[in-house]
Amino acid sequence: MHWADVTAQALAHKSDTHVVSTGITPSGEFHIGHLREILTGDMIARAAENAGLKVDFVFIIDSADPLRKVYDFLGPEYEQFVGNQLGAIPAPKEDGNPDWDRFKNENWTYANHFLEPFLKALKEIGVEPRLIDNLDSYRSGRFAELSKIACDRADEIRETIERVSGRELPDGWFPWSPLNSRGGLDKVRVTGYEYPLVHWEDEYGESGSSDLTKGEGKLPWRIDWPAKWGWVGVTCEAFGKDHGAAGGSYSTGREIVKILGHEPPQPLVYEWISLRGKGAMSSSAGNTIGPIEALRLVPPQILRLLIAKSKPNKAIEFDTGMGLVTLADEFERLAARNFEQELSNEDLSRRQKVQIEDAAGAMKMATVVSGQNIEATAVTFRHLALLAQTKSSDEAVWSSLQSSGVIESVTPQLQDRLNRMRYWIQSTHFPVEMRVNILTQPNKAAIQGFSKEEAAILRSISHELSTCEWNKREINAAIPRSIESVPVAHKWLAYKVAYLCLMGMEKGPRLAPILVEIGQQKIIKLLEASVELLEA
RNA sequence: GGGCCUGUAGCUCAGUCAGGUAGAGCGUCGGACUUUUAAUCCGAUGGUCGCGGGUUCGAACCCCGUCAGGCCCGCCA
């Protein structure tokens, strides 16, 4: 059974209506790691619906969280906003400094700025959760009731956090962080509490009262999370392994939520996604790839497959090079399979059956629209990468595929894939192994090791190509013709020699169309130089 | 120090919850194919299940210990 179905089954045992929640702080550029948060939730929600449950899938935007520091991508003017809430400060402009105009005129905030492109990417991936803005929720009093309980029972909450996390909270700690005189959540001390007011004093010498029904402050994270479970009614949430550790925020949250009068949600801990060869993703280290960037390279189904096929507790290495080719080709293979037919085979061992079911489950989760059928395009990534590199026009790519009988007509899906492929090829992510590369210097090592026959073939190829008309058909005929005068068993050898001398490898893509693009002169020059090496 | 996760074929991982002859894909190698889609098809190759004990008729799986990697216990989502 697919992991999402396992969780859905656990939910089904509890109730037939559920709220599956996800949450992210919009503190900077979203990256593909955040996609796991959302997609894990989405897949659980989808599986639960498939199991006949009624599901509300929500995405809580943690816009009430403060700006932690002036990140590298921010200008120095952001110093004044450190500690202020992300949904209450202006978005950065190109130069990294605050865009006051948009903030004043449209209330365009820091949180909006980073959230918007992510939501756009989500839509393309087929994820459309109900959005809950956390700052708005505070301001409109959604947290009021539970904040009151937290403040009334501050001692119990304090005891819980200290006992479960094993860390000591400072004197004067209070389960409500009021906004100070400058709108920040730090540099402020709670001096008293009479519902609904929390009295405070800040380091600027000001004092005041924070009304917790109006969002003039927020609950600290370890209480904020369980309070959200409470008022939203969350019954299931997937979260990163950082929250999941003993003493982490889930283990305190599950006790605190009971103090607040609710039950903890069904947890599911997931591992991080890292970029291959670059370690864990971190915005400040600059080693991120955003969901938007990733979508330019691969179709959404393949991105979904990446998450769907890995169990949540497995770390994923996202590889924008050869790994992407492997992943895309795996997708095509899976799309071409008929799982129902495979499962109808009675002789399957339990193990084989599980494997087929998991593959089928992963593909079900990979579709952008739930329940939609994925059709194999019959064109592998490798093949398309090759065509896209050798044909400058899309028309030429399609006619090649049509004449070889791979496709009948050009579907929007194929056009879409070709567009992404062209983007990938001109990006820095495209792997060198895939790049069509004609040698500029003769392949000395290979040529010196040539047998008598191979040497003869090389001479012959050089002759044939310099005299043939420079088009695909003639070149195609010229290469096998080059062995006619040489007594060898297989014409395969002609190709081997050609590939070694022109591309430096034993096998390769169809030569003719590439050679046409490169031009006769250059090729002849290379071959003549190679022949000279033979004489030496 | 305390805790969680991970360790199975060259690579990526299933299989561990319900113990019953070690699995898949990729890769590699061989064969087929008289224009090569780095294609396709067929076949083969491949593992002391991190290590050591214990329980059991039987352990990748349960228990104890141990090694290695990652993470958390710092308001940090």
What are the tokens at A513?
């169309």
- Specify whether A210 is located in the same domain as A89: no
Which of A273, A300, A317 is a domain's end point? A273
Q: For the whole model, what pTM was predicted?
A: 0.88
How large is the average pLDDT for residues A32-41? 90
CA of A243 to C1' of B6 (A): 17
Which contacts of A405-411 are long-range, i.e. CB under 8 A and separated by 24 or more positions?
Answer: A406/A378, A406/A379, A407/A377, A407/A378, A407/A379, A411/A377
How large is the average pLDDT for residues A263-291? 72
Residue A369's SS3 state is coil
Q: How many CB atoms lie within 10 A of CB A352?
A: 13
- Specify whether A129 is located in the same domain as A233: yes
CA of A452 to C1' of B32 (A): 27
**Structural domains counted in chain A:** 4
Look up the protein residue whose alpha carbon has the minimum distance to the C1' of B22. A351
Q: Can you give the pLDDT at residue A142?
A: 96
Separation of alpha carbons A42 and A486, rounded Å: 63
CA of A239 to C1' of B18 (A): 28
Q: Which of A191-205, A416-430, A512-526 has the highest mean pLDDT?
A: A191-205
- Helix (H), strand (E) at residue A201: strand A197-202
What are the tokens at A70?
């002036």
CATH number of the domain to which A38 belongs = 3.40.50.620
Residue A280 — very low, low, confident or very high, per pLDDT cuts 50/70/90? Answer: low
Q: Can you give the pLDDT at residue A276?
A: 66
Shortest CA to C1' contact from A61: nucleotide: B77
Q: Are A275 and A318 in contact (CB under 8 A)?
A: yes
What are the tokens at A397?
């790519």
Shortest CA to C1' contact from A239: nucleotide: B77
Residue A150 lies in a domain: no
Q: What angle do CA A239, A68, A40 make, to 5 degrees?
A: 15
- Specify whether A201 is located in the same domain as A231: no
As ranges, strand B nucleotides with an atom below 7 A of a protein CB are 1-6, 12-15, 23-26, 33-40, 70-77
- Specify whether A404 is located in the same domain as A474: no
CA of A246 to C1' of B54 (A): 29
Separation of alpha carbons A133 and A260, rounded Å: 21
Look up the protein residue whose alpha carbon has the minimum distance to the C1' of B71. A242
Shortest CA to C1' contact from A69: nucleotide: B76
Task: For the sheet with A17-24, list strands across it.
Answer: A130-133, A54-61, A17-24, A236-240, A266-270
Shortest CA to C1' contact from A323: nucleotide: B12
CA of A343 to C1' of B49 (A): 27
CA of A184 to C1' of B47 (A): 58
CA of A242 to C1' of B53 (A): 34
CA of A492 to C1' of B27 (A): 23
> What pLDDT digit, counting tens, does each position of A370-409 carry?
887 777 677 778 788 888 887 878 888 888 777 766 777 8
**Is the pLDDT confidence value at A489 over 60?**
no
Select from A467, A500, A502 the least CA-distant residue to A481: A467
Look up the protein residue whose alpha carbon has the minimum distance to the C1' of B15. A351
Residue A300 lies in a domain: no
Residue A92 lies in a domain: yes
- Eight-state DSSP code of residue A521: H
CA of A264 to C1' of B63 (A): 31
Look up the protein residue whose alpha carbon has the minimum distance to the C1' of B17. A6
> What pLDDT digit, counting tens, does each position of A9-34 carry?
889 988 999 999 999 999 988 888 88
What is each CA distance from A354 to A1, A232, A342, A359, in whole angstroms?
7, 36, 12, 9
- Specify whether A137 is located in the same domain as A185: no
- The interface predicted TM-score (ipTM) is 0.84
Task: Please name the residues in contact with A242: beta carbons below 8 A apart, sequence gap of 6 or more.
Answer: A248
CA of A310 to C1' of B67 (A): 27
- Specify whether A48 is located in the same domain as A93: yes
- Specify whether A134 is located in the same domain as A112: yes
- Specify whether A93 is located in the same domain as A200: no
Shortest CA to C1' contact from A379: nucleotide: B37
Separation of alpha carbons A501 and A441, rounded Å: 9
Which of A258, A273, A288 is a domain's end point? A273
What are the tokens at A310?
């890995």
Residue bearing the bigger pLDDT, A510 or A468: A468
Residue A444 — very low, low, confident or very high, per pLDDT cuts 50/70/90? Answer: confident
- Specify whether A459 is located in the same domain as A424: no
CA of A342 to C1' of B9 (A): 25
Shortest CA to C1' contact from A25: nucleotide: B77
* Domain membership of residue A465 as a residue range: 444-535
- Helix (H), strand (E) at residue A511: helix A511-518
Shortest CA to C1' contact from A350: nucleotide: B15
- Specify whether A71 is located in the same domain as A123: yes
Shortest CA to C1' contact from A166: nucleotide: B73
Residue A164 lies in a domain: no
Separation of alpha carbons A140 and A134, rounded Å: 10
Shortest CA to C1' contact from A83: nucleotide: B75
**Is the pLDDT confidence value at A139 over 90?**
yes
CA of A314 to C1' of B8 (A): 15
Residue A168 lies in a domain: no
CA of A251 to C1' of B73 (A): 11
**Is the pLDDT confidence value at A275 over 80?**
no
Residue A278 lies in a domain: no
Task: Please name the residues in contact with A461: beta carbons below 8 A apart, sequence gap of 6 or more.
Answer: A478, A479, A482, A494, A497, A498, A501, A527
Residue A284 lies in a domain: no
- Specify whether A227 is located in the same domain as A128: yes
- Specify whether A30 is located in the same domain as A78: yes
Residue A112 lies in a domain: yes
Shortest CA to C1' contact from A330: nucleotide: B25
Residue A483's SS3 state is coil
Which of A239, A273, A307 is a domain's end point? A273
